[in-house]
Amino acid sequence: MRKPKINLLICNLFNFVSLKIYMKTKQYIPKLGLFFLIFIIPGVESCKDNNKDYVPYVPVNLVLDLQTDLSYLGVGETAIITPNEYGFGVLHFASPKYPEITLGQEVYGNGLIVYRFDINEFVTYDITCTFNATTDYCALDMDDTWLIPKCPCCQSEFNILLEASPVSGPAALPLKAYTTFIRNNQLYIKN
């Protein structure tokens, strides 16, 4: 006869512990929901706000000949490629003594900055300011050295020699970089 009492005691103890666990869980669920509401959702939303600094996607697929198109671009010099009224790229050099070259290739967006680090090493950046890029979409102006482009909208400045990082103004992100490589004496610029 003692066995049923022990079983009953064990069942009651199990039910009591289960009830306690349920009650604690019931208290934690609202707290956990509150945690998500306070910390997780604003964190996700803040990522959306940071996206305004990214430059909108434009297709980039250019091939420039090193001996013709880029023959005037020396080591340590910068050139820019901007679209003309027909959408074709126009290559501008820092020195006014070199002529502009109209490329037979389309250029989208505001254009590109091409810097020659070495005889066979180039980097290419988007010429669009990274601050409020999706709303303002401001093209940078080149300074006298062509190494510190400046945004006419927010006054941010970027240093090409420092991987196009912002050096002043509200912009926090460097200029958008594009894949740049040489093959068969031609410079390829792609995204």
> pLDDT averaged over the chain?
82
In this structure, the number of other CB atoms found within 10 A of the CB of residue 135 comes to 9
Say yes or no to pLDDT of 19 above 70.
no
CATH superfamily of the 61-190 domain: Rieske [2Fe-2S] iron-sulphur domain (2.102.10.10)
Tell me what pLDDT residue 96 has.
87
Per-residue pLDDT tens digits for 26-65: 555 555 555 554 555 454 444 444 444 589 999 999 999 9
Instruction: Yes or no: say if 113 and 30 are a contact pair by the CB < 8 Å rule.
Output: no
C-alpha–C-alpha distance, residues 145 and 157, integer Å: 13
More confident residue, 92 or 37: 92
Spatial CA neighbour of 189 closest among 91, 100, 72: 91
Q: Which of 90, 104, 97 is nearest to 74 (CA)?
A: 97
Q: Within 13 Å and on the Cβ side, how many CA atoms surround 117? A: 12
Domain ranges within the chain, ordered by starting residue: 2-53, 61-190
pLDDT of residue 163: 95
Q: What is the mean pLDDT of residues 129-143?
A: 92
Please identify which residue in the block is written with the tokens 């409020």: 132
